[in-house]
């Protein structure tokens, strides 16, 4: 799972394995370890909430999604889930399936090996 923080927004991108783990356990968690010994945890959780919410507590970023919404997204072709902060004090949240890059010359294609096939790659050339 990848985390992107930009301004007052969070974006989580999950590949196929991430989504399988999320479906089986209801949670997907990653860590960033620092030389100082500190650790930042970020997690996506299917929870008994009424809407997508985010929380920063201690050393962890938690994004919670209603269980039914999480299940429907993970088992369908739906690409993303998103929410703005209901109070305008928290970040906007975007959760999406990680697609293979189309233009990545000279980079390690193994990074994309577990990504979802990019729908744009399947569009026939109409020119």
Domain ranges of the chain: 2-101
57's enclosing H/E stretch is strand 53-57
Per-residue pLDDT tens digits for 114-125 = 666 666 665 555
CA 89 from centroid of its chain's CA atoms: 21
Record the tokens describing residue 5, joined without a space.
């923080």
Record the tokens describing residue 21, joined without a space.
């783990």
Record the tokens describing residue 103, joined without a space.
């233009």
- CATH 3.30.1360 at 2-101, yes or no: yes
Average pLDDT along the chain? 86
Per-residue pLDDT tens digits for 8-17 = 999 999 999 9
Considering only CA atoms, which of 6, 81, 75, 76 is closest in space to residue 49? 81
What is the per-residue pLDDT for 109? 52
């Amino acid at each position: 799972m990848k985390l992107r923080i930009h301004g007052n927004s969070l974006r989580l991108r999950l590949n196929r394995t991430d989504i399988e783990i999320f479906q089986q356990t209801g949670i997907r968690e990653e860590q960033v370890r620092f030389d100082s010994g500190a650790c930042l945890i970020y997690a996506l959780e299917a929870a008994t909430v009424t809407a997508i919410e985010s929380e920063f507590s201690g050393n962890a970023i938690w994004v919670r999604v209603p269980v039914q919404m999480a299940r429907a997204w993970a088992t369908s072709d739906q690409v993303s889930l998103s929410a703005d902060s209901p109070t305008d004090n928290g970040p906007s949240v975007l959760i999406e399936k990680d697609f293979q890059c189309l233009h990545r010359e000279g980079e390690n294609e193994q990074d994309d090996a577990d990504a979802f096939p990019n729908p744009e790659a399947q569009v026939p050339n109409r020119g």
